[in-house]
């Protein structure tokens, strides 16, 4: 596997992370409403329930290269549409950004599955390259929001040029690169056979308490994630009195702890120490709560510094008011 291959993977993952940061922030900036932010998030994630399970089958039927090119072209077109659309209707803004965010999320899943399949087919060090891909994903989750925080003050439309260009470059790379043909397995299963497999799979899941626990844990995690993503921007501005762009700190910290959790599990995987891995996970969760508590205290102390412009404007307004009151009293 070449360095260029993983370089383009990192670029497209960074573009996805940047778009994930931009959707809730820009929707709240343009609408100023938690309700429309929640609607955008719902439109963002609901289509994934139907389309993501079909990605693997689409890759098998269409092929890695054509599907990757189509995915990147669609995401590029979505970014261009957001750049050139000028609607001021909050409902249109919410639905538009939600649909584009959904396309980006579906494309992100397609990218990861496609690269995993390429690595499994062509790589001679599959485990090393899969771990490298995971670390790139976590790093992109940090780099994307950092870029968004630094550059969004110039205007979100200018910031949209970055992911648009990265998607276009990745589509060009897949148009240029040549992959070894992947042998397809022709498995012609009847509808009844597929139905029996689905029923047996559901029965197997229901019979294993650990799998059920993981499913319910994932449901709770996604519900909490939805609450944060849909209302976090409003909480940052209204409760913490900070610019909305600092909502990206949530994504940055999430990426850091996600990577830390992955490294803990990866270290214990070689030693087959499941209890130790669970203990480390519990310690990491406790540390994350303590970290967020300390971070909130620090942010409250730094709010006057970070929002010095607003405070300065307030002081100037107050001074002008006092001067006016004095002049009125002398008069």
> How far is Cα 153 from Cα 156, in angstroms, rounded to an integer?
7
pLDDT greater than 60 at residue 298: no
Residue-wise pLDDT for 236-250, tens only, equals 877 777 788 888 887
Q: Average model confidence (pLDDT) for the chain?
A: 74
Q: Rg of the Cα trace of the chain?
A: 24
The per-residue pLDDT for 13 is 92
Q: What is the pTM of this model?
A: 0.73
pLDDT band per the 50, 70, 90 thresholds, residue 276: low
pLDDT, mean of residues 299-305: 53
pLDDT greater than 70 at residue 14: yes
User: Long-range contacts made by residues 55-63, C-beta under 8 angstroms, separation at least 24?
Assistant: 55/106, 55/109, 55/110, 55/113, 56/113, 58/110, 59/110, 59/113, 59/114, 59/117, 60/184, 63/182
Residue-wise pLDDT for 31-77, tens only, equals 888 888 888 888 887 777 777 667 767 777 777 888 888 989 999 99
Domains, the chain, ordered by start:
3-179+192-270 (1.20.1250.20)
How many Cα atoms within 13 Å fall on the side-chain side of residue 52?
Answer: 17
């Amino acid at each position: 596997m070449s360095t260029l291959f993983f370089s383009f993977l990192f670029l497209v993952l960074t573009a996805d992370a940047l778009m994930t940061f931009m959707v809730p922030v820009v929707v709240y900036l343009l609408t100023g409403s938690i309700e429309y932010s929640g609607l955008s998030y719902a439109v963002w994630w609901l289509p994934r329930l139907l389309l993501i399970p079909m990605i693997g089958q689409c890759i098998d039927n269409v092929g890695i290269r054509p599907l990757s090119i189509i995915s990147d072209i669609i995401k590029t077109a979505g970014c261009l549409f957001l750049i050139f659309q000028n609607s001021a209707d909050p409902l249109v803004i919410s639905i538009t950004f939600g649909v584009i965010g959904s396309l980006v999320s579906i494309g992100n899943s397609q990218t990861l599955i496609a690269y995993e399949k390429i690595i499994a087919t062509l790589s001679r060090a599959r485990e090393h390259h899969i771990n490298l891909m995971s670390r790139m994903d976590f790093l992109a989750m940090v780099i994307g929001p950092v870029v968004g925080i630094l550059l969004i003050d110039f205007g979100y439309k200018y910031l949209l040029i970055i992911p648009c260009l990265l998607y276009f470059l990745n589509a060009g790379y897949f148009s240029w690169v040549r992959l070894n043909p992947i042998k397809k397995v022709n498995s012609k299963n009847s509808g009844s056979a597929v139905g029996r497999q689905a029923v047996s799979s559901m029965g197997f899941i229901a019979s294993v308490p650990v799998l059920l626990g993981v499913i319910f844990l994932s449901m709770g995690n996604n519900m909490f994630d939805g609450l944060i993503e849909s209302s976090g921007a409003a909480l940052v501005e209204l409760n913490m009195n900070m610019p909305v762009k600092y909502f990206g700190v949530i994504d940055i910290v999430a990426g850091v702890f996600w990577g830390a959790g992955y490294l803990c599990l990866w270290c214990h995987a070689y030693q087959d120490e499941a209890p130790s891995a669970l203990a480390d996970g519990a310690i990491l969760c406790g540390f994350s709560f303590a970290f967020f508590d300390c971070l909130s205290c620090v942010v409250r102390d730094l709010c006057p510094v970070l929002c010095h412009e607003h405070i300065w404007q307030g002081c100037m307004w107050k001074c002008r008011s006092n001067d006016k009151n004095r002049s009125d009293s002398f008069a």
